[in-house]
Amino acid sequence: MARSIDPLSRNARQRQDAIRERLAATGVVRVHELADSFGVSAMTIHRDLDALQFPGVAAQDPRGVRRRWCPRCSTEA
């Protein structure tokens, strides 16, 4: 039997990819702006950001969420 792909997981991955791109471009993103942009709740964005924080892509910041600094490459990841 073929395994079906959960569309919610696919949407979450797409949002997370877009959040990564925004972090790379701007350095900081804000939860309410992301929620408005993607048409989802702030809690959904928080879950996406939690998933990004685990692998070291993002870190919470008083201004929002910022990309993490990469000491090996002397740039921000």
- Which pLDDT tens digit goes with each residue over 26-41? 888 888 999 999 999 9
Q: How far apart are CA 29 and CA 69, in angstroms?
A: 15
Q: Check if the beta carbon of residue 37 is closer than 8 Å to that of residue 29.
A: no
Tokens 């969420």 belong to residue: 65
CA end-to-end distance (rounded Å), the chain: 40
- Residue 67: band (very low, low, confident or very high) from pLDDT cuts 50, 70, 90: confident
Locus of tokens 């490459």: 73
Q: Is the pLDDT score of 76 beyond 60? A: no
Q: Is the pTM of this model over 0.75?
A: no
Summarize pLDDT for 40-66 with one digit per residue, the tens.
999 999 899 888 876 667 777 666 777
Q: Which domains does the chain have, with CATH numbers?
A: 7-76 (1.10.10.10)
Q: How many CB atoms lie within 10 A of CB 50?
A: 11
The reported pLDDT for the residue numbered 36 is 95
